[in-house]
Amino acid sequence: MVRGVRGAITVTKNDEKEILIATERLLKEMISKNQIEPNVVAHVFITVTEDLNAAFPAKALRSFADWTYVPVMCSREIPVQDSLPMCIRVMLTVNTDVAQNEIKHIYLEEAVNLRPDLQLTDHHQEV
């Protein structure tokens, strides 16, 4: 079964180092909480809001062991008026037997406001 694992995080400035650190933090949390191995990942989509252009956030994933051949694509989020600024969103598409309602979607920093219905109490406090 193919499932999507969603995640998002915000940064405070359009800075390459901050974007990469935040993306790495988000991806590590998504991978850890869902026990994802790179060989079950079909692809990864990463979007950024239009105010973030200092780095390709996919670069953060390239430092992870065994993730070299996982296809990753970055794009720009549609600029909806009054949407959350400075936001990085990730969609991991994975092959898993885990039920859809058991997937742990991860929202950090100001991104917790995007989907409060999907928040886990254990990492809701970590932001």
The active-site residue out of 62, 76, 102, 126 is 62
The active-site residue out of 6, 29, 87, 109 is 6
The active-site residue out of 16, 50, 76, 115 is 115
User: 92 pairs with which residues across the strands?
Assistant: 5, 44
- Known catalytic membership, residue 89: yes
**C-alpha to C-alpha distance for 54 and 89, rounded to whole angstroms:** 16
Cα 39 to the center of its chain, rounded Å: 18
- Known catalytic membership, residue 69: no
- Known catalytic membership, residue 6: yes
The active-site residue out of 3, 29, 107, 109 is 107
- Known catalytic membership, residue 62: yes
- Known catalytic membership, residue 3: no
The DSSP output letter for 40 is: G
**C-alpha to C-alpha distance for 74 and 58, rounded to whole angstroms:** 7
The active-site residue out of 18, 24, 74, 110 is 74
Residues 6 or more apart in contact with residue 105 via CB below 8 angstroms: 5, 6, 7, 115, 118
Look up tokens 């600024």; give the residue.
85
The active-site residue out of 29, 77, 87, 109 is 77
Catalytic residues: 6, 62, 74, 77, 89, 107, 115
